[in-house]
Structure 1
Amino acid sequence: MKRSAAIVSTAIACVGMLLTGCQKSSNSGTQNQSKITVVENTPVDSLDPAVAYQESAIVTVANTTEGLYTMDAHDKPQFGLASKVKTSNHGLTKTFTIREDAKWSNGDPVTANDFVFGWRRFSDPKNASPYNFELGAAGIKNADAITLGKKPTSDLGVRATGPKTLVVELDHPVPFLSRILAFAPFAPVNQKYFEKTGKKFGQDSSHVIATGPYKIKDWKLGDNTVQLVKNPKYWDAKNVKVKEIKLDVITDPEKAAIAFENGNADYVRLSGQLVSKYHKDKNFVDEISNFNHYLIFNMKEPGINNANLRKAISVSLNRKEITTHILKDGSVPVHSMVMRKLGKNPKTGKDFADESTTNLSQYSPADAKKYWNKAKSETKLRSFTLLYDDSDPSYSNVAAYIKAQVEKNLPGMKVNLQQVSKKTRLDKMAKSNFDAGISRWAPDYGDISAVLNMYVTGNASNYAKWSDPEYDRLIAQANKETDLSKRYQLLLKANNILVDSAACPPLYQAGAPVLRRTNIKDMPMHISGVPLVFKYVYIK
């Protein structure tokens, strides 16, 4: 999700009981009489699984419209609406059995056709799903051709052979299939209900039904509050402990922290100076986020496409200085395209992020001078514009640092700064209407390929428009390799090629320190896919 985040301390007394923001009913005190308020920094853009994009929307869809799998509190995939799966045809056919007791919140049974209909909508290029590339990442037969408009959605490798039997055909075995199928866009859609609601589907709480542990109450598009209440028709309702989850949109981090102090919020993320302010608070939790931040260069721009110039810029940046002196929020420097905790060496257990062998993201003024001298003889470019958005207050300071470092280490190069809205930045990057920009990415499923697949030639998320035949070959080979150790080495080689190109130099993995009530348990920030899953949460 791809994807973003924003979530945040003082107890309040009420009727002689310490509530600490998680409002337990004073007349029963049981775990089922409870409410948790979580702060998000972006409003829900849609509750249609096929088009929902913002993190708040992904969190809401995943917790109300469960799919075949869900992720538990230990970041392990567990069966959701599926009760079992049978693998055949050398790993190319998966036959799922849908739970007999799985129901929609309106009482309709969940059927295999709900998945067929939902996934076909997900793949339909007319719906322009921001995550439709994941169908191809999941290896689903014909997915890539369908999302490109080359084949009809009816050719998607998914079919119902009975009311509760779903057959999924793959182009190649996918070792992380259960993880990717836990992501929100792979949710089922009730065709009969969808056709009844028409264009209003997913636009308010009156035009959406649930299959998950929660359902939505009193919400419409544009609201800054989403209320999730326990779904009594959920197949595993007896194990859902928290009765109500409230998502409040507060874009200002300081106001979010104040809401926490006043007892109006139970979980908010911190940034900048707020981290040092609260780091000794008993509710402070020092977490690392799932977002890597990058400096993206537009390979279509003459001059910017000069490899020596890009390398000079990359090694002119001291990533440790960015995280220690500018961000000061637990962010860490990165030297790999892939964030920490996403993948490990199957033989040694070493983190993939620590195994990159390239030096192109290491600070070296001497190397910057060397590359710059070469670039000056190859291109006449002496200025470029650095694009960044206003979705994170720290971006202005990071951009100013990049400007200062480049102009200091590359004498004669001028950097202009341009701040725009996030929507405008994404639009400019998608249309290749930029020189260089600060961007970020979070994996939508728990595998290294969730990041590296983006940079294959022609991928819609490859904003750099970078292309390398050897890289494409390695990724294609890795996607079909069933030997995990061989696959890992292929992905590592591809990662190093990309970092060495300096087309999209990695900068830092953002910290995600939060203020979380000490009595909230089993609500971790997941490193990939859906950031917050509420099914397993309880209040101690």
Structure 2
Amino acid sequence: MKKGILITIIAVIGLVIAACGSDTTKDEVKGSAKQSIKVTSAGEIATLDSALYSDTFSSDAIGQISEGLYRVNPDNDAELGLAKADPTVSADKKVYTFQLRDDAKWSNGEPVTAADFVFAFQKVVDPKTASPSSNQLDVIKNANQIRNEKAEPNTLGVKAIDDKTLEITLENPIPYLPKLLTGTPFLPQNEKFVKEVGSKYGTSADTVLSNGPFLLKDWSGIGTSWNYVKNKDYWDAENVRLNKVAVQVAKDTGAGVNLYETGDVQYTALTDEFVQKYKDNKAYHSQSKSLIGYLGFNEDRKATGNVHLRKALSMAFDKDAYTQTILGDGSKALNGYIPSDFAKDPENNKDFRAENGDLVTFDPEKAKSEWTTAKKELGIDKLTLEVLSSDTEVSKKTVEFLQSELEKNLPGLTVKIKSVPLKNRLALTTAGDYDIFYGTWSPDYSDPINFLEVYQSDGGINFSKYNSSTYDSGLNEVKSTLATDPEKRWDKMLELEKQLISQDAVIAPFYQGATAYLLNPEVQDVQIYPFGRNISFRLAYVK
């Protein structure tokens, strides 16, 4: 996502052991060319440009082939990536100096340099790029001024001291910098190569360079299949066991289940009725995620610009019924924006969601009351709205459920459905060509600010076009004057969530996701992330 970013509920991933003939022993397979798996993805790659992505499928692909200063370890903590040691930090905790690994290379053989990070970071904040993730770099000195055209990109607080020394100057001290730097917008790009391919950068396998565990092959930019091949020049290649990961887009959960049933698939994600069928199977697993599902409202349109209508819509569907009948994978109803088990109060260690309580619940009577007020203010008796979603199996079932609930609980409302490929859905929401959209969001790192900053008025993925000077001011406090006062910073974030959900009903969050899957012991150490990207194959291998 991330950044932070809008996605479908669950990436459906099927792993298939490839070419293991009956005359091949497990010891021969281990460490040989037979270390090959096949996977399915629930969606296509939209772009391989780390400055332009806005969906998890693209971020997943970029994460397989690229690495930044930090990467995510099996415990979901930040660990050193291209940085070879912990940075030196100035006394005021604003200036970080990193030394890059001497053996970090691009796939064209050129070394990864500090200038590659400078170029990439400046590209993200440059208004000409129109990066959906630009606001994530606001922690860096002058980033906010640059992206708001009040300063030039070359004034960004990132400097190449020499080829292997990178200096990052922050606006204010922040407690989560290593986590932040694992995110996709903070990946380097080779300036010479990017300028050579121009606007085509990241649009195909041939127009991107890799510095991570894998190279991407056989993707034309519009294809529904591609391959990851081990990058032998990756600095940590000795710990990458797989030689190939073949990916095929498959939007139907049943297809993956059928492959598992026939013994062709060793890992497949599950949804709805498949969870009920396999929940007692020893191969069944369910992992909670920080992903949230929600409805976004277009505040630039007359109807959905009415706060009472937004509140009515937010309270008019049964979240528990949805998670139990449509998903059934361990996902749970969510009555706020920040999910549970994500962040804890620095003073009393209490969970953010528990501390801020239920901000929007299923309440058909209150929904009808708000609906009545909205109709009066809009001067209407009836209303037709369109709900936009991607065309995956789960997304279609989700909007059909919402259509039924909203029309039942808000008499006079007609809901139409528009389901399109994810790339088109993202384009339509970015252009503001929708009434309501159903999407998902997964944070890049475990701090509530990563959720809250999405709705900054000039945020790149603020598709609702929410604009509140009070909210913006509060966000700036969290990022600046309160950065060194953890408890006051925490209280301000609690306040901002209440404004966003209870007061202004900017979005309607309704569930916190989970990943349910069947896993065969033959495939080991696939990393399934609780936030940020969905999956990593860096440490995976065939047993």
TM-score, reference length from structure 2:
0.88
Q: 1:425 to 1:445 in 2, by over 3 A?
A: same
In structure 2, the residue corresponding to 1:66 is in which secondary structure? coil
Q: 1:470 to 1:358 in 2, by over 3 A?
A: farther
How big is the shift at 1:539? 4.0
Question: Where in structure 2 are the equivalents of 1:161-240 lying within 5 Å?
Answer: 161-198=161-198, 201-240=201-240
Mean Cα deviation higher: 144-153 or 73-82: 144-153
How big is the shift at 1:158? 0.9
Distance 2:434 2:486 in 1: 38
How big is the shift at 1:362? 1.7
What is residue 510 of structure 2 aligned with on the other side?
Answer: 507
In structure 2, the residue corresponding to 1:125 is in which secondary structure? coil
Distance 1:225 1:147 in 2: 35
Distance 1:279 1:9 in 2: 19
Distance 1:12 1:295 in 2: 40
Distance 2:197 2:15 in 1: 42
Conserved? CA contact 1:388–1:395, under 8 Å: no
How big is the shift at 1:528? 2.3
What is residue 132 of structure 1 aligned with on the other side?
Answer: 134
Distance 1:186 1:56 in 2: 17
How big is the shift at 1:269? 2.2
Distance 2:242 2:272 in 1: 31
Partner deviation per Cα, 1:429-466 (whole Å, 9 max, x = no partner):
33434333323222133321111111122323222223
Conserved? CA contact 2:291–2:531, under 8 Å: no
What is residue 94 of structure 1 aligned with on the other side?
Answer: 96
How big is the shift at 1:423? 4.1
Distance 1:516 1:191 in 2: 41
Partner deviation per Cα, 1:5-38 (whole Å, 9 max, x = no partner):
2323899996558xxxxxx865624356522322
Q: Output the amino acid matched with 2:83.
A: A
User: Out of 8, 29, 33, which is 2:14 matched to?
Assistant: 8
Q: Percent identity?
A: 30
In structure 1, the residue corresponding to 2:314 is in which secondary structure? helix
What is residue 461 of structure 2 aligned with on the other side?
Answer: 461
Conserved? CA contact 1:384–1:436, under 8 Å: no
What is residue 378 of structure 2 aligned with on the other side?
Answer: 379
Conserved? CA contact 1:11–1:261, under 8 Å: no
Q: Output the amino acid matched with 2:526.
A: M
In structure 2, the residue corresponding to 1:355 is in which secondary structure? helix
**Are 2:285 and 1:252 equivalent residues in the alignment?**
no
What is residue 20 of structure 1 aligned with on the other side?
Answer: none
Question: Where in structure 2 are the equivalents of 1:336-347 lying within 5 Å?
Answer: 336-347=336-347
Distance 2:236 2:19 in 1: 34
What is residue 324 of structure 1 aligned with on the other side?
Answer: 324
Conserved? CA contact 1:182–1:529, under 8 Å: no
Distance 1:271 1:349 in 2: 33
Distance 2:434 2:201 in 1: 35
Distance 2:224 2:190 in 1: 27
Q: 1:539 to 1:304 in 2, by over 3 A?
A: same
Distance 2:366 2:532 in 1: 38
In structure 2, the residue corresponding to 1:109 is in which secondary structure? coil
Conserved? CA contact 2:284–2:519, under 8 Å: yes
Q: 1:121 to 1:232 in 2, by over 3 A?
A: same
RMSD between aligned residues: 2.8
Q: Output the amino acid matched with 1:7.
A: I
Distance 1:302 1:70 in 2: 44
What is residue 74 of structure 1 aligned with on the other side?
Answer: 75
- State how many pairs are aligned: 530
Q: 1:401 to 1:262 in 2, by over 3 A?
A: closer
How big is the shift at 1:112? 0.9
Q: 1:165 to 1:34 in 2, by over 3 A?
A: same
Distance 1:155 1:344 in 2: 35
How big is the shift at 1:302? 2.9
Q: 1:385 to 1:290 in 2, by over 3 A?
A: same
Distance 1:25 1:351 in 2: 49
Q: 1:158 to 1:77 in 2, by over 3 A?
A: same
Mean Cα deviation higher: 225-234 or 393-402: 393-402
Distance 2:328 2:338 in 1: 21
Partner deviation per Cα, 1:124-181 (whole Å, 9 max, x = no partner):
3333333223222xx1122223334443321221110111111111112222221221
Q: 1:27 to 1:127 in 2, by over 3 A?
A: same
Question: Where in structure 2 are the equivalents of 1:462-477 lying within 5 Å?
Answer: 462-477=462-477
Conserved? CA contact 1:289–1:525, under 8 Å: no
In structure 2, the residue corresponding to 1:513 is in which secondary structure? strand
Q: Output the amino acid matched with 2:414.
A: V
For structure 1, the residue ranges without an aligned partner over 5 or more in a row are 18-23
Distance 1:420 1:516 in 2: 31
In structure 1, the residue corresponding to 2:342 is in which secondary structure? coil
In structure 1, the residue corresponding to 2:415 is in which secondary structure? strand
How big is the shift at 1:71? 0.4
